[in-house]
Amino acid sequence: MFKDEECRGGMQSKVRLSVLLPANDDGSEKLPTLMIGRSEKPSCFVKVKSFPLKCKANRKAWMTSEIFGDWLKSLDKSTRVKKRKIILFIDNCSA
């Protein structure tokens, strides 16, 4: 169900999806995308062999402090291996 469609049956759709798209300021370096949905293994991706993004799940498909912490630790690990230093700007993230 989409925003402009009429709701039938009295309940609005609770389909949610959050996506984290990390990149540098000019977009020349992109880090792996993080998708947060309601299902750990969505049925629409059953036959996909290699997936180009990381998937996480939580009941409301929101970014939580646990998911964000895990993502941040993996980012820190990859930058240490490359012996790089970065500065991270985050906007509108309660996690």
* Tens digit of each residue's pLDDT (9 = 90 or more) over 54-84: 889 988 888 899 999 999 998 899 889 999 8
Tokens of 63: 């970014």
Compute and round to an integer the Cα radius of gyration of the chain.
Answer: 17
pLDDT at 47 > cutoff 80: yes
Q: Average pLDDT over the chain, rounded to whole?
A: 83
Q: Indicate the pTM of the whole model.
A: 0.72
Instruction: Report how far residue 38's alpha carbon sits from residue 15's, in angstroms, rounded to the nearest whole number.
Output: 8
pLDDT at 55: 87
Average pLDDT for 22-43:
85
Better pLDDT: 35 or 52: 35
